[in-house]
Amino acid sequence: MRMSRMYLPTLKENPAEAEIPSHQLMLRAGMMRSLTAGIYTYLPLGYRVIRKIENIVREAMDESGAQELLMPVVQNAELWKESGRWDKFGPLMIKFQDRKGRDYCLGPTHEEVITALVRNEIRSYKDMPLNLYQIQTKVRDEIRPRFGVIRGREFIMKDAYSFDADYEGLDKSYQAMYDAYTKAFADCGLDVKAVEADNGAMGGEGSHEFMVIADVGEDHVAFCNKCDYAANIEKAAAGYKKAVQEESLKDIEKVYTPKQKTIDEISSFLNIDKAKTIKSLAFLVDGEPVLVLLCGNDQLNEVKLLNYLNGEEIVQVEDEEFEKYFNSTPGFIAPVGMKKGVKILADLRVKDIVNGVTGANETDYHLINVNPERDFTADDYLDLRVVQNGDLCPVCDGRLELKSGIEVGHIFKLGTKYSESLGATYLDENGKEQLIIMGSYGIGISRLVAAAIEQHHDEKGIIWPKAIAPYQVIILALGNEEELIRVSEKIYDELSKKGIETLLDDRDERPGVKFNDADLIGIPLRITIGQKSLKNKIVEARVRRTGDEIEIPLENAIERILEVLDNIE
């Protein structure tokens, strides 16, 4: 491509709307433009990268035996009502009506559509295993679209769905996707980590997320510093080792603690370590009162609580409702003498507290020297807290380390959630009707572009891994003398003939502008041809990632350029 003809609107300055490097660079490198919040047009340079990624993902999917199809973006409400997600997805879904007043949405995901398809097509166990995928635009009305294509309201996803006759089959289909994802990300030249994840609203049992570790990531991931345990913070289990206690139990005592409601207030008022305070949190889980106990410096992981209770909705109790549900008062609630019928769930670390502090279920009073099991009983002790940096690994004796990550892929074992609600069955070997066992698997193609830039850039611009670079070579013709143009065009033609995607910067611009743009758009190999180099019968090659500069003799320039290119990652 000749840059004099190319639609490549690069920008010198960082646009004010972009907060993070990938967003800034995608705008500055002329890869995309925003239409409205979270909705983008991909310009030619950006779209080339998208197509590269799509093709790498497509190849890995095809190799795994999955087959590509294309489903509708426009989906009718009946289907979503059948699965129960019309209301559950709520405002995340863009809904509208047709001219006859029928309800529709723009597909945020395709479990419903694909299940409705196969329920009419799969008849027998012999029709499975089956894995169908598509690469398509998804629409989600995200509350906070931000960071450019990392969280868009319209974005490109590769989504796949597997169908099996039994759970062993699902395990195999799931592993095949895990392997295909691992390969696709590696083929893109990206460092992506698979971590255990919670199934959340998707339902089912078993899930992994694929994360690009980056400071700007909105997800938090716990990694063990010793073994290969890695989990999203929503899922990450805290290791537990019983603490050895030497202190003897003292008598419980009520103390006057006017206005001291929070853990910080009470620990400084009583001059007691926060680890000795018992944090009591009042919730309604699906309408039922639950008192959660945590060590004072821990935070509740609501996902763990909901999973344990098999609950759907967790709400904090309003101040006026403490009396009604808990016979207590906000700021001073405690498990000691708690109203009968309230479920009390405590984190494992609470059991180890000796002579701790709780509220007294009475305004302006606390209890000191409270001892679990002597002064109150919990219905259960379990892992309920959000893991913190330095916590014990749940698998070995290593320590957990927290990092930020960008979720670029997610795989789920769905089980029968959708086949049950939408009635997708098959006949087994004995002619008995059974529910189809499903899995669902997504890759955020457009998000991946930004994640790749977060992982591969410097202060001058993008540094594309070769596999997803929009072009592999850029030739800078520094001048408009006849000989210089002739040599530049010749190298450009020959490289193009060899199938190397090459840019020729033949614009009437100063050398500085050309150098800066080449760095900004991140092409792996730059070839510079100037008057001086021509006199010496050489061209200059420079590797974008390493900055290595190589002088290449004109006589066998193509051969040498191909060699250098071959060695770039």
Q: Which residues sit at the interface with ligand ATP, rule CB under 6 A? A: 109, 140, 142, 151-152, 155, 157, 407-410, 442, 444, 446-447
Residue 503, both tokens: 């840019």
* Nearest to Mg ion of 376, 412 (CB atom): 412
* Nearest to Mg ion of 48, 410 (CB atom): 410
DSSP state of 392: B
| Residue 224, strand partner residues | 400
Query: What is the nearest approach in angstroms of ligand ATP to the Cβ of residue 220?
Result: 12
| Residue whose beta carbon is closest to ligand ATP | 444
- Point out which span in 4-12, 410-418, 491-499, 558-566 binds Mg ion (CB under 5 A): 410-418
Query: What is the nearest approach in angstroms of ligand ATP to the Cβ of residue 409?
Result: 5
Counting residues that bind Mg ion (by CB under 5 A) gives: 1
Query: What is the nearest approach in angstroms of ligand ATP to the Cβ of residue 97?
Result: 24
Identify the CA nearest to 152 among candidates 23, 62, 13.
23
The answer to whether 413 contacts Mg ion (rule: CB under 5 A) is no
| Residue 385, strand partner residues | 300
Query: What is the nearest approach in angstroms of Mg ion to the Cβ of residue 157?
Result: 10
Q: Where are the beta strands (DSSP E) in 225-342?
A: 230-232, 253-256, 278-285, 288-295, 314-316
* Nearest to Mg ion of 159, 519 (CB atom): 159
Helices of type H across 159-223? 167-187
DSSP state of 90: G
**Contact pattern from residue 365 through residue 404 relative to Mg ion, giving x for each residue in contact according to CB under 5 A and a dash for the rest:** ----------------------------------------
HSE-CB of 267 using CA atoms within 13 angstroms: 15
* Nearest to ligand ATP of 394, 405 (CB atom): 405
Helices of type H across 339-444? 417-422
* Nearest to ligand ATP of 296, 444 (CB atom): 444
Q: Are 350 and 278 in contact (CB under 8 A)?
A: yes
State the binding partner of 142 from Mg ion, ligand ATP, none, CB within 5 to 8 A by kind. ligand ATP
Query: What is the nearest approach in angstroms of ligand ATP to the Cβ of residue 452?
Result: 12
Q: Tell whether the torsion through CA atoms of 488, 493, 494 and 496 is positive or negative.
A: positive
d(CA 4, CA 9): 12
Report the length, in residues, of the chain: 569
* Nearest to Mg ion of 234, 298 (CB atom): 234
State the binding partner of 534 from Mg ion, ligand ATP, none, CB within 5 to 8 A by kind. none
* Nearest to ligand ATP of 127, 141 (CB atom): 141
Number of separate helices (H) and strands (E) present in the chain:
15, 31
Query: What is the nearest approach in angstroms of ligand ATP to the Cβ of residue 49?
Result: 15
Query: What is the nearest approach in angstroms of ligand ATP to the Cβ of residue 354?
Result: 40
d(CA 370, CA 393): 29
State the binding partner of 444 from ligand ATP, Mg ion, none, CB within 5 to 8 A by kind. ligand ATP
State the binding partner of 283 from ligand ATP, Mg ion, none, CB within 5 to 8 A by kind. none
* Nearest to ligand ATP of 151, 385 (CB atom): 151
Query: What is the nearest approach in angstroms of Mg ion to the Cβ of residue 407?
Result: 6
| Residue 40, strand partner residues | 34
State the binding partner of 409 from ligand ATP, Mg ion, none, CB within 5 to 8 A by kind. ligand ATP
Return left, alpha or beta for 325; rule: phi > 0 is left, psi -120 to 50 is alpha, else beta: alpha
Q: Is 440 helix (H, G, I), strand (E, B) or coil?
A: strand
DSSP state of 472: S
Query: What is the nearest approach in angstroms of ligand ATP to the Cβ of residue 9?
Result: 23
d(CA 498, CA 507): 24
State the binding partner of 30 from ligand ATP, Mg ion, none, CB within 5 to 8 A by kind. none
Query: What is the nearest approach in angstroms of Mg ion to the Cβ of residue 211?
Result: 11
Which residues are CB-neighbours of 160 under 8 A, at least 6 positions away? 61, 66, 131, 132, 133, 134, 177, 440, 441, 442
State the binding partner of 165 from Mg ion, ligand ATP, none, CB within 5 to 8 A by kind. none
What type of residue sits at position 158?
K
* HEC-encoded secondary structure of 499-514: CCCEEEECCCCCHHHH
State the binding partner of 152 from Mg ion, ligand ATP, none, CB within 5 to 8 A by kind. ligand ATP
Q: Is 237 helix (H, G, I), strand (E, B) or coil?
A: coil
Rg (CA), the chain: 30
* Nearest to Mg ion of 338, 408 (CB atom): 408
Q: Where are the beta strands (DSSP E) in 140-276?
A: 154-164, 193-196, 207-213, 219-224, 230-232, 253-256
State the binding partner of 160 from Mg ion, ligand ATP, none, CB within 5 to 8 A by kind. none
The answer to whether 235 contacts Mg ion (rule: CB under 5 A) is no
State the binding partner of 276 from Mg ion, ligand ATP, none, CB within 5 to 8 A by kind. none
The answer to whether 410 contacts Mg ion (rule: CB under 5 A) is yes
- Point out which span in 334-342, 405-413, 418-426, 516-524 binds Mg ion (CB under 5 A): 405-413
* Nearest to ligand ATP of 145, 289 (CB atom): 145
d(CA 527, CA 553): 12
